[in-house]
Amino acid sequence: MSDAPTAASPDTQPSRVGRLLALVRKLIDYGRDLAAKIQRCDRATETRHFDTSDISLILARIAQGLHRAQILEERLLRNAARLDAPRRPQAAPATHTPRSSRPVAESNQPGEQPLAQLPTPEQIAAQARRRPIGAVLADICRDLGILPSHPLWRELGDAIMANGGNLARLVKEIIAKGARRFAQAWAETPIHPLQLLPRPSPTGTGPP
């Protein structure tokens, strides 16, 4: 009898809920590790992806993201059978031009809210239970300061787009925040345009 491994059958592949649960649990592990590092390590290194230097606010946002992820995990487990059920075939396209639908509502850039204006745990739980799964994942990215350079970004992007989230808006917010940070750093350490010009070589130092 051969001991060679056999190819996995389609039935052994993770379900939609299984993939989402695995991703949410990775986010929970990352958020917990990030909070621990900020509390015990070089905070400047660990907080560079956030749009604030307020450690209390950063830790509150991470806690907020972890709470969202835990509520989403419970939601996925509770509704696993329904979410994994075969989707109904889409109806034939209408012959008339449909009215333009409004885009899925995203949160109002929670990362820019001061500590006193962050939503309560009850409000976060209500949002995580009623909003599209992809929108909740995008909010978790905001809370944890996750950027496109993060190892989970591709998996997160696919999950956000496939589950009713708005990845384009999230990326635009990240780009806008990066531009604001650059502008602020430039204002704090201004460089005169003449300093960017090449300096002439000192006279009398070349070969005879």
Write down the pLDDT at residue 52.
79
**Six token digits for residue 78:** 């509770």
Number of H helices, E strands in the chain: 8, 0
The sign of the CA dihedral 179, 185, 190, 193 is negative
CA dihedral 111, 112, 113, 118 (to 10 degrees): 0
* Stretch 96-107: mean pLDDT: 43
Q: Tell me which residue of 144, 191, 145, 138 sits closest to 167, measured CA to CA.
A: 138
Amino acid residing at 97:
T
Find the angle CA(34)-CA(39)-CA(44) to the nearest 5 degrees. 75
Q: Name 160's Cβ contacts closer than 8 Å, sequence gap at least 6.
A: 134, 135, 137, 138, 141, 166, 167, 170
Task: List the domain boundaries for the chain.
Answer: 16-83+106-188
Higher pLDDT among residues 204 and 119, named by residue: 119
- Are 51 and 177 within 8 A, CB to CB? yes
Q: For residue 117, give Cα distances in angstroms to 61, 123, 125, 135.
A: 11, 12, 16, 20
Three-state secondary-structure class, residue 186:
helix
Confidence class of residue 182 from pLDDT cuts 50, 70 and 90? Answer: low
Give the integer Cα–Cα distance in Å for 202 and 208.
Answer: 14
Confidence class of residue 178 from pLDDT cuts 50, 70 and 90? Answer: confident
Write down the pLDDT at residue 176.
87
Write down the pLDDT at residue 104.
41
Q: pLDDT digit string (tens) for 147-175?
A: 999 999 999 999 999 999 999 999 999 88
Find the angle CA(98)-CA(101)-CA(106) to the nearest 5 degrees. 165
* Stretch 1-10: mean pLDDT: 47
What percent of the chain clears pLDDT 70, i.e. is strictly above it? 63
Give the integer Cα–Cα distance in Å for 68 and 139.
Answer: 8
Q: Name 24's Cβ contacts closer than 8 Å, sequence gap at least 6.
A: 69, 72, 73, 76, 137
Q: pLDDT digit string (tens) for 183-195?
A: 665 666 655 555 5
Predicted TM-score of the model (pTM): 0.72
